[in-house]
Amino acid sequence: MSRKTQRYSKEFKAEAVRTVLENQLSISEGASRLSLPEGTLGQWVTAARKGLGTPGSRTVAELESEILQLRKALNEARLERDILNCTGVAEKYALIEQWRQQFPIEAMCQVFGVSRSGYYNWVQHEPS
């Protein structure tokens, strides 16, 4: 008789690996609980520990990197939104002052269409 190959979904694989790792089970214990061949579960757990995960999944480092990029893009979008909402030069200088820790002053002056020297002059003469 021929042996039929069992196919498992990505979600099932991820859940099986999570069960083994979170409960600190051995491969044989996990395989017994989940009614899986030890070799199959062992391959999934080994891949997850090496950061390979299941096909199509991403590692924690990749997800953290994406979160960092998205946060940066969000800050830039907020800056652009704030730029569009202000009209006066003094308002632009105030926004540059507010965002000077997150973005380079020179770049913000260029985006706002104001001079750096004008910004620094405004900072020196701004009432405290």
- Using one digit for the tens of pLDDT, what is the confidence trace for 76-108? 998 888 777 777 888 889 989 999 999 999 999
- Please say whether the beta carbons of 83 and 111 come within 8 A: yes
Q: How far apart are CA 116 and CA 128, in angstroms?
A: 20
pLDDT at residue 52 greater than cutoff 80: no
pLDDT at 120: 95
Assigned token pair, 23: 């409960």
Q: How far apart are CA 8 and CA 98, in angstroms?
A: 52
Assigned token pair, 125: 């003469």
Please state the pTM of the whole predicted model. 0.39
Q: How far apart are CA 119 and CA 90, in angstroms?
A: 9
- Please say whether the beta carbons of 48 and 21 come within 8 A: yes
Q: What is the mean pLDDT of residues 17-33?
A: 87
